[in-house]
Amino acid sequence: MADQRQKIIASVFSRRNASGNLEEAYVSHVKIWEDAGVEGGGKKPRYILLSQANNGSGFIHKSKLNTNGSFSVGKTWTLSELRAVEVMNPLAFNITLSRTYRWQTENQDDQASFLEALINLFRVITSGAPLQLDGIEVAAPITADDQTSSIHAEAGPSRAPRLRSQTPIQNRYESFQESPLAGPQRLGTPPGAEPPVNGSQDYIQSIRPGGRSGPPPIAVSPLAAAAGPARKARHPLNVSFQGQTTQRISDEPPRIVSGQDSSVPYPPSMNASPVSSIRSQKPTVRAEEFSTQQDGPSLRRDQNARISYFDSTNQATLDRLVSIAPDSHLNVEAEEEDVQDTLTNVEEMIEGYEWASEDVISRKTTKGAVDLIEARLLDELMALEKANIHSFLESDDRIGMVMKFMDNAISELDNMDSFISTYKIHLNAASDDISFIQSQNRGLQVQTQNQRALLGELQNLLRTVHVEQDALATLTQESLEKGRSIQRLEDASAELYKALQAGRDTDMAATMERLEEYRTHNSQFCKRLFDFLSIMFTAQGKLLLGETNGLVIPPRGLPTVVAHQEIEVYLGRYAGLMLYLKEMDENVYGRLCAAYFSAASELHSTQLKSLISIFLQSVRKAPEDDQDQGFMTTSTTSASKSTTTIRRAGTLIRSPIENKNKDKDKGRASDGDLLAAEVLGLLLEQITATIYREDEFISDFLQINDAGLTFADYMGLDNYFRRQATRSASLSQATMKLIRNSLDLIFGFLPAELKNFIDVALSKDNMEIVAILVTLERCLIGAEEKNNQFVLSLLGKQQTRMKNAFDRHIHDQLKGIEQTKLSSKKRKGVTHFIKHFSSYAARVESQLVGADGLETRRLVDSAYEKIVQTMFESLKHIAKMEGEGEDKGQLNYHVILIENMHCFVVETSKMDNASLVTFSQRAELIYDENLNAYVKMVLRRPFSKLIDFFDAVDRLASSNPNDLSGNSTYNKSALRKVVKEYTSKDVRKHIDLLFKRVEKHFTEGSDKPTTEDATNGKVLVGVWKACEEELLRLLNRFSKRIAQSYSGTGITLEFTASDIETAFHKHP
């Protein structure tokens, strides 16, 4: 409980005000349980805290215990709002503030203590305001009449009849004794001394031997109720109980041992607080509980506390008074005689406990009886001590006077304490004033130093905002051509730069006129620089172009672009002045950037257009046969040849490059000897190198970069000027947009020229589209490494356009296959698109060397899948066009698929390409499936009776083998009849006819010997071999069936395997 109280004080009541005092003081608390609502389920613990503010008001807080052990307040009420308190049961009560709250506690003592403290604090704060109490009674203040009656009761007889029950006033007083506000806390008993007597029981608790009841409690005399701190009672017998571990108080009701009537009238001021009646002690209360009520930290003396309370501050005074008393020794001797008389009756007490009978009946041990006797003796000693203290206090007349002097002294001490507190407040205020004065003093010192430093800086500024006339003359008259002149111009401009930067944020009248003059000189110098460099941009470009349009044309081979190194070196001398221009006149700087972009664009346009024109002439034109290769039939290709030629010729006529260079290129051959992709790769290599070089140059010359270099950095000026330059280094949105689009402005002609080059190159060889895609993709990878957005955009657009063109190309090939499907006739051998696929794939694969990891590889594989799928579907459609459902039509279907799949597998296997392996395997499956079906069909015609007979026998043998002998259709006679029809001579004849039929199927439709004949010959060999294997398999099956089902008949086939092999080997 104490630990919990300390945590509450540390968490909630530790805040102090400006004077250092606590804003609220802890009074009491109680743990409650309240409903957690529908979502929370059950009840949740909370703590109700009672506190008093330093201004005299009181508060009720509802708090919760946090996970870290601290407390936090969730709701607060002022104590003045309290209207009613209702105790429902010892573990629940209602409290009415703005509304009524019902709280459930877990300890009835804590609840009673908290409610007592709550009611007392409410009455103190509200000066006795009305409060509705239900189920609880609290002692009301006692009037003067009650005090008088109490005095008379003190002087009455010392013994009275025993009380049968406790009164409500006694109950209320007992709960008040447990309340934190009932009185100051008492110190614990020091070692070797008797535990101090509880202030609520000083004059009422005395026990006689023999277990007899004493008189009921009576009111305490005014002497005992006088204001003063609690004092420790002196032990009259000087008996030590250090070895005792458990102390008991007798279960008999207490009695009062009164001495002589020593009541003395005192002034009214001595009666500081009324005294209420006290209820009797509960049975068998242990002394350690009695002692625990007195434990606690020592508090400041309370003027209304009872004298009987133990107080170490009054111990010395009490001992001195007792030592002065003339009859103190007599009282001690009398008490010692009483104790001696009590000890002489030990035998009678032992007989009263009936050792023998209890040991037999209740099974109690001797040790338990000894403890009971010991407790009884200790109770008697406690009663004697209290009686002695009571008689001592009643017999000495000087105690009241001593207490009065002590009260006066304590009052003076309280006054002194209040004065000291007042002085402390004044001293704290004076300390704050002193601290403020000291801080002001330090601030004045710093201000003085700052003003001195500022004065020095102003003087330096005035010296800085000054440019020599020689520097101004240099800016106006010095040449812009020579290197030394440029250096002098940079130094002079640095002087002007410092003056303008130093005066940028000043409004001093002394410098305004001078700065205005310097701004005029700055504008004139910037305009002079712009005019000179604008002319030099164009002049240097013309010098570089010369008579060859800026190209280096070797006697043999392709030309190269002349590097711009000379121009870059020449213009690089003005990099410092460009920084000056960028910071000091942004408008002129933007105009100069635009002038350079225009001159550079004209220069690069002349160079690269001439280069593209020459490179285009080096592209080889594909032969007509290769150019027109496709999956269409020959007739379709011939019909569209003229249209294609006209379109290509029209493209060449519309080419602006050929019109421009027509006169120059008369002596050149119309077609070169390089593939379009090779020429494109060489061209892009030079174009991208030119773009990268130009990008680097303008970044350095025009300072279009993220380095943030300023003219102050370039000239190595002081940090002040560098900071000033950094502040004003930002450019406007218009200038930034111009700079960001620099490459677009310089090379804006390239997208159209590159598109035209690719279109013309593809018109010469449209199959080069795959190689062009590979070239563009590789250049894009290099551009990504350089992180040049312009090149990425330029090549990305061309790549997207080429992908669309490749998709159209594949669509045209699929369309040609579809046209072949519609126009082809039945049984025409290997179709055109099957024969053409191998050459088409070989041409495409030759352009994909080293392109396994590129996107173009995946694009081509996807195109293969579409083409092969369309070819196979078209082939099946062609095979099914006529005779579907008939034997002849079925044979034609199988023949077409066998021939085409065999050709496809043979041709694709030669290429050894991983991308085509899947298609070859698919074709093999189709080939095997149709070959098996074809062989079975052609063998059935000559051997149908034999095959049908044994198929029926197999079915009967699998269902009921015993029925064969009784079945006239499949008995041994029927077998002998069937076997005689197929003699070795008949079999050889059937095989000869079979060869003629198979040969006709796989050689028909060839008008002249071509490579197709060789392919057909290979197909025929394969088919004939399959027929032989199938017939041998049938022979083996027939022989096994005869051996199993017709054993013992002596019937066998009249032809053997050697007859079959001999007949088949006669034919190739």
pLDDT per residue as tens digits for the range 486-498? 999 999 999 998 8
Contacts of 868 (CB under 8 A, 6+ apart): 837, 919, 922
pLDDT at site 29: 94
Mean per-residue pLDDT for 391-397?
A: 73
Euclidean distance between CA atoms 954 and 961, whole angstroms: 9
From the list 284, 281, 279, the residue with the least C-alpha distance to 251 is: 284
Per residue in 14-25, pLDDT tens? 888 878 788 899
pLDDT at site 533: 94
Mean per-residue pLDDT for 192-196?
A: 38
pLDDT at site 298: 37
User: 128 in the Ramachandran plot: left (φ > 0), alpha (ψ -120 to 50) or beta?
Assistant: left
Q: Which residue, chain included where needed, has tokens 């701004």? A: 519
The residue ranking higher by pLDDT, 1022 or 464, is 1022
Mean per-residue pLDDT for 221-242?
A: 35
pLDDT at site 461: 62
Query: Among 77-86, 206-215, 322-331, 661-670, which range has the highest average pLDDT?
Result: 77-86
Euclidean distance between CA atoms 258 and 1066, whole angstroms: 156
pLDDT at 754 over 90: yes
pLDDT at site 825: 55
Q: Which residue, chain included where needed, has tokens 């593939």? A: 675
CA quadruple 584, 590, 591, 594: dihedral, nearest 10: 150
pLDDT at 638 over 50: no
The residue ranking higher by pLDDT, 833 or 41, is 833
Asked if 235 contacts 194 with a C-beta cutoff of 8 angstroms, the reply is yes
How many beta carbons lie within 10 A of that of residue 282, not counting itself?
A: 11
Give the start-to-end residue ranges of the domains of the chain. 2-134, 181-402, 936-1065
Euclidean distance between CA atoms 587 and 730, whole angstroms: 13
Euclidean distance between CA atoms 561 and 48, whole angstroms: 93
Binning pLDDT at 50, 70 and 90, where does residue 1061 land?
very high
Q: Are strands 132-134 and 84-89 parallel, antiparallel or unpaired?
A: parallel
| Tokens encoding 360 | 């037999």
Euclidean distance between CA atoms 1062 and 1028, whole angstroms: 10
pLDDT at site 332: 46
Sign of the CA dihedral running 145, 146, 152, 154: negative
Q: What is the DSSP string of 196-233?
A: PPPGGGTTT----TTS---PPP-PPPTTTTSS----PP
pLDDT at site 338: 57
The residue ranking higher by pLDDT, 176 or 741, is 741
How many beta carbons lie within 10 A of that of residue 698, not counting itself?
A: 22
| Tokens encoding 1041 | 């069936």
The CA-atom distances, in angstroms, between 492 and each of 195, 484, 502, 516 are 102, 12, 16, 17
User: Using alpha carbons only, how large is the chain's radius of gyration in Å?
Assistant: 62
pLDDT at 922 over 80: yes
Residue 22, φ and ψ in degrees, nearest 5? -65, 135
E-strand ranges in 989-1032 read: none
Contacts of 295 (CB under 8 A, 6+ apart): 185, 186, 187, 188
Asked if 153 contacts 219 with a C-beta cutoff of 8 angstroms, the reply is yes
Q: Percent of the chain, pLDDT > 70?
A: 68
Binning pLDDT at 50, 70 and 90, where does residue 823 land?
low
Per residue in 576-616, pLDDT tens? 999 999 988 999 999 999 999 999 999 999 999 999 999 99
Determine which of 277-286, 350-359, 621-630, 713-722 has the lowest per-residue pLDDT on average: 277-286
Helix (H) or strand (E) holding 921: helix 914-959
Residue 26, φ and ψ in degrees, nearest 5? -65, 140
Mean per-residue pLDDT for 215-219?
A: 36
Q: CB-based burial of residue 313 (10 Å sphere; 0-12 exposed, 13-18 middle, 19+ buried)?
A: middle
Euclidean distance between CA atoms 575 and 715, whole angstroms: 12
CA quadruple 68, 73, 75, 81: dihedral, nearest 10: 140
Instruction: With H, G, I as helix, E, B as strand and everything else as coil, classify residue 419.
Output: helix
Asked if 7 contacts 23 with a C-beta cutoff of 8 angstroms, the reply is no
Per residue in 978-1020, pLDDT tens? 999 999 999 999 999 999 999 988 886 444 444 455 556 688 9
Q: CB-based burial of residue 498 (10 Å sphere; 0-12 exposed, 13-18 middle, 19+ buried)?
A: buried
The residue ranking higher by pLDDT, 604 or 267, is 604
pLDDT at site 455: 84
The residue ranking higher by pLDDT, 543 or 288, is 543
Binning pLDDT at 50, 70 and 90, where does residue 263 land?
very low
How many beta carbons lie within 10 A of that of residue 287, not counting itself?
A: 18
pLDDT at site 1030: 94
CA quadruple 562, 567, 569, 574: dihedral, nearest 10: -160
How many beta carbons lie within 10 A of that of residue 967, not counting itself?
A: 13
pLDDT at 970 over 70: yes
pLDDT at site 337: 57
What pTM was computed for the model? 0.53
Contacts of 876 (CB under 8 A, 6+ apart): 897
Cα 501–503–507 angle (5° rounding)?
A: 150
Q: Across-strand partners of 72?
A: 64
Instruction: With H, G, I as helix, E, B as strand and everything else as coil, classify residue 396.
Output: coil
Per residue in 808-818, pLDDT tens? 999 999 998 88
Instruction: With H, G, I as helix, E, B as strand and everything else as coil, classify residue 666.
Output: coil
The CA-atom distances, in angstroms, between 337 and each of 224, 665, 973 are 27, 153, 153
From the list 878, 850, 658, the residue with the least C-alpha distance to 771 is: 850
The residue ranking higher by pLDDT, 324 or 1058, is 1058
Q: Percent of the chain, pLDDT > 90?
A: 36
Binning pLDDT at 50, 70 and 90, where does residue 127 land?
confident
From the list 93, 128, 133, 96, the residue with the least C-alpha distance to 112 is: 93
pLDDT at site 1068: 67
Q: Across-strand partners of 32?
A: 46, 105
pLDDT at 311 over 80: no
How many beta carbons lie within 10 A of that of residue 343, not counting itself?
A: 11
Cα 797–802–807 angle (5° rounding)?
A: 130
Per residue in 131-148, pLDDT tens? 889 988 765 544 434 443
Task: Spell out the CATH class of 2-134.
Answer: mainly beta
| Tokens encoding 566 | 């000379």
* Upper half-sphere CA count for residue 126 (Cβ side, 13 Å): 17
The residue ranking higher by pLDDT, 871 or 622, is 871
Instruction: With H, G, I as helix, E, B as strand and everything else as coil, classify residue 1046.
Output: coil
Contacts 24+ apart (CB under 8 A), 343-350: 345/209, 349/209, 349/373, 349/376
Helix (H) or strand (E) holding 551: strand 551-552
Sign of the CA dihedral running 446, 451, 452, 453: positive
Per residue in 900-912, pLDDT tens? 999 999 998 888 8
From the list 339, 327, 337, 371, the residue with the least C-alpha distance to 353 is: 371
Per residue in 705-738, pLDDT tens? 766 788 888 898 888 888 887 876 678 888 888 8
pLDDT at site 335: 54
From the list 834, 873, 867, 844, the residue with the least C-alpha distance to 1012 is: 834
Residue 52, φ and ψ in degrees, nearest 5? -130, 130
| Tokens encoding 604 | 């690069």
Residue 758, φ and ψ in degrees, nearest 5? -65, -40
pLDDT at 509 over 50: yes
Residue 505, φ and ψ in degrees, nearest 5? -110, 15
Q: Across-strand partners of 100?
A: 96
Residue 486, φ and ψ in degrees, nearest 5? -65, -40
What's the start-to-end Cα distance of the chain, in Å? 115
pLDDT at 67 over 70: yes
pLDDT at site 257: 35
Instruction: With H, G, I as helix, E, B as strand and everything else as coil, classify residue 725.
Output: helix
Binning pLDDT at 50, 70 and 90, where does residue 161 land?
very low
Instruction: With H, G, I as helix, E, B as strand and everything else as coil, classify residue 301.
Output: coil
pLDDT at site 722: 85
pLDDT at site 20: 79
What type of residue is 655?
S
Mean per-residue pLDDT for 44-49?
A: 92
Helical ranges in 465-482 per DSSP H: 469-477
Mean pLDDT of the chain: 75
Residue 247, φ and ψ in degrees, nearest 5? -120, 140
Helical ranges in 205-345 per DSSP H: 287-292, 315-324, 328-344
Asked if 533 contacts 591 with a C-beta cutoff of 8 angstroms, the reply is no
Sign of the CA dihedral running 933, 939, 943, 946: negative
Asked if 752 contacts 762 with a C-beta cutoff of 8 angstroms, the reply is no
SS3 content of the chain, % helix, strand, coil (to 5): 65, 5, 30
pLDDT at site 190: 38
